[in-house]
Structure 1
């Protein structure tokens, strides 16, 4: 049996970071993922992360950012205040990749990338190439 999912989408809100009573970090957010076929439809998928991944998501991801999530689907249920059984389907992420760079604090982000030349061709001789 296999329960594995990989998603790429944009965050619909900033991650919400919380801590369990024993101090374990958990973060949750929704990922907007377009369906690849038919009419353009989008699914809004709840994502839950734990520990260091949760703290990294809370620190570096923001609403609108593109992210890749790898994890497993989990279905849980609980009884709400009215006594009704509520079922929740979510992705428990064990790997989150940040696919866009965030704005760097206190500086021009182009200064940190030695290969960014504002779209101009890079001057490299054939002798410098390893192939």
Structure 2
């Protein structure tokens, strides 16, 4: 049998790193360039809230300030059942919540820039490397 060896010993490792980098870059571009699948409207008293179901293979939630792009200001999202507040930081269009509660209700409760109209959200499979919500 004829065996074909790669020309460079580290070629397979480099291909894996390149593929991982491309996957992260693709998700980042989608997160910053496209609106998320659904949107939370501003509701400081949480009267307007929506459930977000996170079921396998999804294991994270991507929150995006609307309209996109919108790197200025911060936006805060409150998880009603989990009693957690997630902040999309200034300087970022979006952020990711890794390992959120599987079925929680969320509301967009605060912003420090009135041009932020809403917060888009989408359950996703966490690729790693995205800005974490604060």
TM interval, short-chain normalised: under 0.3
Higher helix share: 2
TM-score where L is the length of structure 1: 0.20
TM-score where L is the length of structure 2: 0.19
Determine which structure has greater relative contact order: mean sequence separation of CA pairs < 8 Å that are 6+ residues apart, divided by chain length.
Answer: 2
